[in-house]
Structure 1
Amino acid sequence: MPELTKLYLGRNRLTGGIPPELGACAKLQLLDLGGNGFSGAIPPELGELPSLEIARSTSAATGSPATSRRAVGDTRAPLAALQNLVTLNVSYNGFSGDLPDTPFFQKLPLSDLAGNRHLVVGDGSSRHGGARSPRSRSPCQCCSPCSARSSWRRRHTCWPAPTAIIPAPAGERWSHGEGGPWEVTLYQKLDIAMDDVLRELTSSNVIGTGSSGVVYRVETPNGYTFAVKKMWSASDETFRSEIAALGSIRHRNIVRLLGWAANGGTRLLFYTYLPNGSLSGLLHGGGGSGKGSANDEWAARYHVALGVAHAVAYLHHDCVPAILHGDIKAMNVLLGPAYEPYLADFGLARVLSSASPKQQLDDTIRQPRIAGSYGYIAPEYASMQRISEKSDVYSFGVVVLEILTGRHPLDPTLPGGAHLVQWVRAHLQATRDAAELLDPRLTAPGAAAADVQEMRQVLSVAALCVAHRADDRPAMTDVVALLKEIRRPAAARRRDDATKTHSQPAPTQPVSPVRSPHSRDHSSSCSFA
């Protein structure tokens, strides 16, 4: 597979040696072999991978290293040639020998090397956690409680490529780096130096990986904190196309791009840093939103769903031409200080043309297919049907089902191995109570009956969004209108109901769905009822 860029084989209890054939995957950028029982040496072929940036090979047994077999052998030769490496975790294996004495390994947290009794870093004489190092480290880098928190943050706080651009650049500057001068463009007044940014691009600051790069949390000496994405691809065309395509986007629910920097084959994008991670972490991290009662929890989740709906509607109906996000999922919804949502990761976004349907179909056949994320991909991705805004509507519907049920779309505990959409659809078709599908955290004792009724109505909207046929899905402007109607203040509802009662006769025909003047042919014939 010469085009393979990312390979996840973690937690499969695989045994034997690490296959040297992986060295033939010349474009491999991320390799995760953690949670297996590999034995033997690291194949030298892995050291010849020119693009490898993230490698993980941790044992499944993080408590007692003696409970499983693990990879052993000298690591120096295979790792010395990996010039692009940004993250490495080989903790709790049986590695031995000296690690390369490079800036990357000098800054590597010792927790990522722990449990390797004969592994040596540098030429120092002090040992800690199974690794010897001349470096002086603060307690937070060595003590297990802080290391555990740092590891949890890297695993669960997903910051995939957030993107949005302020139209007019506030400044442009050049800064010299190892590969020549840095070209730096900032869209806000930020007094930052590239040396300070580059110093923070270490494995201990990685907060997530996305479809197009690895993201770091960067703090500068003068008090700025922001996120920096280092793009996987060194393609200048890809880098500048993403900036140009999203240059007009500015929305309160879309993460903002602060600027960019380029130097040789290195491409960096600067974004606003959001402290509460992703919606996926909120739903599946075990702690909820921290809002307290079930009623507060539902209010927080509802506003997340509505905010994301506003963002997608903006892309589809307020941008000319319309923009298809292409990868809407819970991991790509980031949360601000008050848990306000921001849509992120436009690595797969593309501008939709206004050409004729036949020309659009021809373009679809000629162009590479957009690859979304498993569990969120609309059915038309698997056929020759045209990808449209309705594909984003489907993915949004899956996210709303995830918000309501608290289950991942590919939750392995769903009956019969069903997908989340299949499980919900079968439940509703059997005319069972929709409340049985809801996350227990939302229906805990004390939950208001009115809130549960709102959840049922939001579930109905999500069901419209995940219709199998694209034409049966509503436009995002209609979705926003329906969601806003569900949670209008009670006083406003009573006032409108009284006005309708006195001014209009009772309808004899079903009420048609809300239609937006911008929706053109994107609205469906589905009614909320």
Structure 2
Amino acid sequence: MKPFPCLPCFTTTKSNTKNKNHFTPIEQLCHRFSLAQLRAATNGFSPSLIVGGEGPCQVYKGHLKAQGPVAIKRFKTKSPAEEIEFRAEVRILCQLHHPNVVPLIGFCEHKKDRFIVYDYVSNGSLYNCLHGTNNNNNNVVPLSWKQRLHICIGVARGLHYIHFGTKIPVMHRAVKSSNILLDQNLEPKLADFGLCKKHPQEESRPKPPRVELRENLELSLEYIEPEYCITGRLSHKSDVYSFGVVMLEVLCRKEACFFTPGGDCVYLFKWAFDDERKGVLEKIVDPSLKGKIAPACWEVFFEMVQRCLASVEERPTMGEVELLLENALLLQETADAVAERENAPVLSVEKGVGATEQTWITLKGIGSDCVMAWFWMGEPVMQS
């Protein structure tokens, strides 16, 4: 199981809009728990209830009478600046309300100890669901392709919400499969436990003018856009890039950074886009999905991966990603329905003459008939 890092790392971008909650005490925005309440919820912070974390940061599964199962993060602040930062982040997190974002329940401050209380999400992380305990894929039942599409759509909705659906725009900055939690219905929820001590080689990196990166920020380099290594700047499009890596992870069922049998470290995006594999479904897809992805769906999905991993100015917004993924799911469901009715698994894609937004989908192998589906902005109309 991947460890939970230590602090939330949602970040707001600068805005001229006055937020009436900016100076509201956080006690008026979310519940402040006492240390005694959290002790009781975790049987005195019993080691047997630790579900994640490392070093001075621990995540406990607890139980509160009013809320039921909760996840409680415990860590220490080391300076007055970190104490101010903690309160600022709680203020942000408690105002995020979306089905695809893990809700913050409350917090606690006691001397140097800090606690954040979240809903407990029962099905673990997408990372564990894809890769299994200790990276042993045999320990988990592979997700179906449509389950994976639903998860990607949910994550896209959550990211679109924090980017554009809040009074103050928020960047996640730690989008990765271990920060995507799944509930009992496999509905994804964005979480972020993403700040630990940063890598020594990053100590001299200048702070960007528009994004305040903490001195202890640890980046998961396999998910970070290449531009950051040059500019030191992050933006909403950085989250889009990271999501593109997650989409590849979902498709290939390989970790974002994995080791070859020879011990070489390989980044997934480089592996998937080398000259031998780029765009060839059979060479990169999870073996459990072979023969189960409709070519039309694959075309849309892989194009979206490419766009997310493109240069900053060419990347889509998460709203665009969400819409196209929903269209990919529609294409898959249509192909599956026809194949189930008529035992016709073969599907090909043809673009209409002069067509841009629209696509003709030819579903073949249906006896003497040939069924055509005309898709316009994701709306299918079956024609004989």
1:509 deviation in Å?
7.1
Secondary structure, in 3 states, of the residue corresponding to 2:289? coil
1:260 deviation in Å?
1.1
1:343 counterpart = 2:211? no
Flag the 1:256–1:378 CA change in 2: closer, same or farther, 3 A. same
Q: Of 217, 229, 235, which aligns to 1:388?
A: 235
Question: 2:59 is matched by which residue type in structure 1?
Answer: V
1:424 counterpart = 2:272? yes
Aligned counterparts, 1:27-46, within 5 A: none
| Residue segments in structure 2 that go unaligned for 5+ positions in a row | 11-25, 196-206, 339-351, 359-384
Question: 2:174 is matched by which residue type in structure 1?
Answer: D
Aligned counterparts, 1:417-496, within 5 A: 417-427=265-275, 433-443=280-290, 447-448=291-292, 450=294, 453-467=296-310, 469-488=311-330, 489-490=333-334
Aligned partners of 1:414 and 1:423 also within 8 Å: no
Secondary structure, in 3 states, of the residue corresponding to 2:70? strand
Question: What CA deviation, in whole Å up to 9, does each residue of 1:122-170 have, x standing for no partner?
Answer: xxxxxxxxxxxxxxxxxxxxxxxxxxxxxxxxx4575876799x99757
Flag the 1:369–1:460 CA change in 2: closer, same or farther, 3 A. farther
Q: Distance in 1 between matches of 2:50 and 2:181?
A: 16
1:302 counterpart = 2:149? yes
Q: Distance in 2 between matches of 1:308 and 1:219?
A: 27
Q: Distance in 2 between matches of 1:321 and 1:171?
A: 21
1:323 counterpart = 2:170? yes
Greater C-alpha radius of gyration: 1
Q: Distance in 2 between matches of 1:406 and 1:328?
A: 17
Please tell me the root mean square deviation across aligned C-alpha atoms, in Å: 3.7
Aligned counterparts, 1:494-509, within 5 A: 508=354
TM-score (ref. length: structure 2):
0.69
Question: 1:464 is matched by which residue type in structure 2?
Answer: R
1:171 deviation in Å?
5.6
Q: Of 25, 42, 52, which aligns to 1:208?
A: 52
Which residue number corresponds to residue 399 of structure 1? 246
1:240 deviation in Å?
0.6
Question: What CA deviation, in whole Å up to 9, does each residue of 1:240-297 have, x standing for no partner?
Answer: 111112232111000011111111111111111111111110111025764xxx7x61
Question: What CA deviation, in whole Å up to 9, does each residue of 1:286-344 have, x standing for no partner?
Answer: 25764xxx7x6112111111111111111112123311111110100011011111110
Q: Distance in 2 between matches of 1:414 and 1:510?
A: 44
Aligned counterparts, 1:22-101, within 5 A: none
Flag the 1:312–1:363 CA change in 2: closer, same or farther, 3 A. closer
Secondary structure, in 3 states, of the residue corresponding to 2:40? helix
Which residue number corresponds to residue 120 of structure 1? none
Aligned partners of 1:160 and 1:208 also within 8 Å: no
- Identity percentage over the alignment? 28
Q: Distance in 2 between matches of 1:365 and 1:238?
A: 11
Question: 1:418 is matched by which residue type in structure 2?
Answer: V
Question: 1:420 is matched by which residue type in structure 2?
Answer: L
Q: Distance in 1 between matches of 2:268 and 2:120?
A: 31
Question: 1:461 is matched by which residue type in structure 2?
Answer: M
Q: Distance in 1 between matches of 2:328 and 2:42?
A: 47
Flag the 1:289–1:250 CA change in 2: closer, same or farther, 3 A. farther
Q: Distance in 1 between matches of 2:117 and 2:219?
A: 23
Aligned counterparts, 1:130-209, within 5 A: 155-156=1-2, 169=29, 175=34, 193-197=37-41, 199-209=43-53
Aligned partners of 1:404 and 1:459 also within 8 Å: no
Q: Distance in 1 between matches of 2:113 and 2:329?
A: 47
Which residue number corresponds to residue 124 of structure 2? 277
TM-score (ref. length: structure 1):
0.51
Which residue number corresponds to residue 108 of structure 2? 261
Question: What CA deviation, in whole Å up to 9, does each residue of 1:341-365 have, x standing for no partner?
Answer: 11101656xxxxxxxxxxx964459
Q: Distance in 1 between matches of 2:209 and 2:296?
A: 45
Q: Distance in 2 between matches of 1:279 and 1:385?
A: 28
Aligned partners of 1:157 and 1:277 also within 8 Å: no
Which residue number corresponds to residue 68 of structure 2? 224
Q: Distance in 1 between matches of 2:185 and 2:316?
A: 29
Secondary structure, in 3 states, of the residue corresponding to 1:216? strand
Question: 1:219 is matched by which residue type in structure 2?
Answer: H
Flag the 1:163–1:419 CA change in 2: closer, same or farther, 3 A. closer
Which residue number corresponds to residue 38 of structure 1? none
| Residue segments in structure 1 that go unaligned for 5+ positions in a row | 1-154, 183-192, 349-359, 495-505, 513-529
1:511 deviation in Å?
4.7
Q: Distance in 1 between matches of 2:214 and 2:106?
A: 29
Q: Distance in 2 between matches of 1:158 and 1:366?
A: 20
Question: 2:325 is matched by which residue type in structure 1?
Answer: L
Q: Distance in 1 between matches of 2:123 and 2:163?
A: 27
Q: Distance in 1 between matches of 2:115 and 2:353?
A: 58
Flag the 1:449–1:167 CA change in 2: closer, same or farther, 3 A. farther
Question: 2:354 is matched by which residue type in structure 1?
Answer: T
Q: Distance in 2 between matches of 1:346 and 1:391?
A: 17
Secondary structure, in 3 states, of the residue corresponding to 2:94? coil
